[in-house]
Amino acid sequence: MEMRIEWSEISERQLKEIFNYYSIEATPTIAKKIINRIINRVFILKDHPLSGPKEELLSEYPEEFRYLVESNYKIIYWIRNDVITIASVFDCRQNPVKMKKLLE
């Protein structure tokens, strides 16, 4: 069965924020490279959806959240049937409590 990837509104917004931040603080070229690395990491999930470990900080939610790490970012996702939903692209340099608040 072919897995499909969907990005939540939160994760799409976070990607835009990451791009905007690095476009200003570095260069648009660097911003694009960072975003491409995150997206390429996500595409690994199509063939290996269970490759990310479970996210224990989000264990109270009904979804079984998993994550992948790319650079300073934790890509939070869950799987339902043949759909992988990217819930958040969380900057690991932030307080982990903020991760829960983003998903409320």
How do residues 27-76 score in pLDDT, each as one tens digit?
A: 999 999 999 999 999 999 999 999 999 999 999 999 999 999 999 999 99
Helix/strand/coil percentages in the chain, nearest 5: 45, 25, 30
Q: Domain 4-102 - what CATH class?
A: alpha beta
Domain assignments of the chain as residue spans, ordered by start:
4-102
pLDDT number for residue 1: 67
| Sign of the C-alpha dihedral computed for residues 87, 88, 92 and 93 taken in this order | negative
